[in-house]
Structure 1
Amino acid sequence: MIDTHAHIYMVDFDDDRDQVIQRALRKRINTILLPNINIDSIQPMLKTEMTYPGICYSMIGLHPCYVKSDFLETLETIYSWFSQHKFIAIGEIGMDFYRKNYYKLEQEEAFIIQLNWAKQMNLPVVIHARNSIKKILKLLSKEQDGSLTGVFHCFCGDIKEAMEINFLGFHIGLGGISTFKNSGMEKVIPYLDLNYLILETDCPYLSPVPYRGKRNEPAHLQLIVNHIAKIRKMASLEIEMLTTNNAKTLFQI
Structure 2
Amino acid sequence: MIITDTHTHLYSEAFDEDRIEMINRAINNGVSRFFIPAIDSSYTSSMLQLEKDFPENVFLMMGLHPTHVKDNYKKELQHVEHMLKSHKFYAVGEIGIDLYWDKSTLGIQQEAFQYQIWLAKKHKLPIVIHCREAFNEVFDILEKEKDTDLFGIFHCFTGNFEQAQQAISYNMKLGIGGVSTFKNGKIDKFLNKINLKHIVLETDSPYLAPTPYRGKRNESAYILKVLEKLTSIYNISTEELANITTQNSKTVFGI
Q: Which residue of 2 aligns with 1:115?
A: 117
For the 8 Å contact 1:65–1:102, the answer to whether it is kept is: no
CA positional deviation for 1:191: 1.2
Q: Which residue of 1 aligns with 2:192?
A: 190
Q: Which residue of 2 aligns with 1:180?
A: 182
For the 8 Å contact 1:39–1:74, the answer to whether it is kept is: yes
Query: Could you give the per-residue CA deviations for residues 57-103 of structure 1, whole angstroms, max 9, x where no partner exists?
Result: 11000000000122112211221112321101000000000024540
CA positional deviation for 1:208: 0.3
SS at match of 2:41: coil
Equivalences for residues 1-253 of structure 1 within 5 A: 1-253=3-255
SS at match of 1:207: coil
Letter aligned with residue 160 of structure 1: E
Counterparts of 2:157 and 2:88 in 1: how far apart (Å)? 27
Question: Which runs of 5 or more structure 1 residues have no equivalent in the other structure?
Answer: none
CA positional deviation for 1:5: 0.3
SS at match of 1:127: strand
CA positional deviation for 1:155: 0.5
Counterparts of 1:19 and 1:35 in 2: how far apart (Å)? 20
Counterparts of 2:188 and 2:69 in 1: how far apart (Å)? 33
SS at match of 1:181: coil
TM-score of the aligned structures, taking structure 2 as reference length? 0.96
Across the aligned residues of Structure 1 and Structure 2, the Cα RMSD in angstroms comes to 1.0
Question: Which runs of 5 or more structure 2 residues have no equivalent in the other structure?
Answer: none
Counterparts of 2:207 and 2:222 in 1: how far apart (Å)? 11
Paired residue total: 253
Moved more, 150-159 or 188-197: 188-197
Letter aligned with residue 197 of structure 1: I
CA positional deviation for 1:10: 1.3
TM-score of the aligned structures, taking structure 1 as reference length? 0.97
SS at match of 1:92: strand
Counterparts of 1:55 and 1:73 in 2: how far apart (Å)? 30
SS at match of 1:182: coil
Moved more, 131-140 or 218-227: 131-140
**Segments of 4+ moved more than 6 angstroms:** none
CA positional deviation for 1:105: 0.4
Moved more, 227-236 or 200-209: 227-236
SS at match of 1:95: strand
Counterparts of 2:143 and 2:103 in 1: how far apart (Å)? 27
Percentage identity across paired residues of the two chains: 38
Counterparts of 1:189 and 1:14 in 2: how far apart (Å)? 35
CA positional deviation for 1:27: 1.3
Counterparts of 1:160 and 1:193 in 2: how far apart (Å)? 14
